[in-house]
Amino acid sequence: MKFALSDDERIVLAAELPLAGLDRDALGRAVARLVAVCDLLAGPSARWLAGPAGGRPVTSPGAAPHHPVVDRYAADVAELVESPGGS
C-alpha cells in the first residue's frame, strides 16, 4: 500500500498487487487492508478538513462501520483493526 498525489493533486491510497499469485483472497486481503486504513484515517481526516477554527462542519464517522470484507480477512489486517472490546 502507498499514498501518492494524483496529477490533479488528490491524495490517493493504492495497493499494488503482483499478477503472479493474484486470486480472490489476495484481492480480498488488499481491499480489507485499504478499508481498514481508511477507517483509521476517517476521524483525524474529518478534524483536519474542518481546520483549526472549526471551519465548515465535517461529519466525523465516530466508530468504524461494520465491513464484511474486513471481518472475512480480520486475521490478515489484525494490526489495523480495533478489537471489539476496544483494546
Residue range 5-58, pLDDT digits in tens: 899 988 899 999 999 999 999 999 999 999 999 888 887 777 777 766 666 655
- What was the pLDDT predicted at 58? 56
Task: Return the C-alpha torsion angle 66, 69, 75, 78, nearest 10.
Answer: -50
- Supply the pTM of this predicted model: 0.71
